[in-house]
Copies of this chain bind each other. A is one copy, B any other.
Amino acid sequence: MKTYDRRVEIAEAAMPLFADRGYYGTGMQDIAAAIGIKASSLYNHYSSKHEILAFIMTTAMTDMLNTHARCLAGMHTPTEKLGATVATHMEFHAHRRLETQITNREISHLKDPDRTQLRRMRKDYVNRWIEIITEGMETGEFTCEDPKITAYALIDMGIGVCNWYRPDGQVELEILKVIYKEMALRMVGGK
């Protein structure tokens, strides 16, 4: 591990490749060529190909958890919290399409201990959604059949965005956020 910047640069070069061809479909040669060096030189910055994948995925998941925690600032009611959570979740998957695609598709290729850690983080994230929905049911703001299933459905529909959203598309991100917020509030019987 030399400079951290170089590690990030390599990871960013690997992202479109992992997202497009998958982990096993991408060679160290491909990643190296993307930044104009030889494959063997990558080992000055990462000890293995797996480490590049793990770096990308844990960085993305860590950022998502932090971004979510930050978006809750100033939100008090479950309705406010869920609205912010949905909008931020959706926006994160739109802004960081490649990393979230990789994180969701290649998780089975991660080896321990990274996989266990990532699963733990994901579980933590899901639990936050479940808690917000449950809280909303307690205050009477929400009414729904099952907080867990509802959380799954809401998360899944936000994840889906990373597969079809295009920055140069015809739908504005800000409009998308409004639409997703509205759909979510309806789903939990809120507003």
Interface residues of A (CB under 8 A from B): 20-25, 104-106, 108-109, 144-146, 149-150, 152-157, 159-161, 163-164, 171, 176, 178-180, 182-183, 186-187, 189
Contact = CB atoms under 8 A, between A and B. Distances in A.
A160 B178 CA distance: 22
Contacts of A105: 105
Contacts of A104: 163
Contacts of A23: 22, 24-25
Most buried by B among A23, A146, A157, A180: A157
Contacts of A186: 186-187, 189
B179 A152 contact: no
A57 B106 CA distance: 19
Nearest to A178: B145
Nearest to A25: B24
Given A20-B108, A22-B23, A24-B24, A160 B155 contact: yes
Contacts of A164: 152
A156 to B, nearest CB: 3
Given A22-B23, A22-B109, A25-B24, A180 B153 contact: yes
A108 B179 contact: no
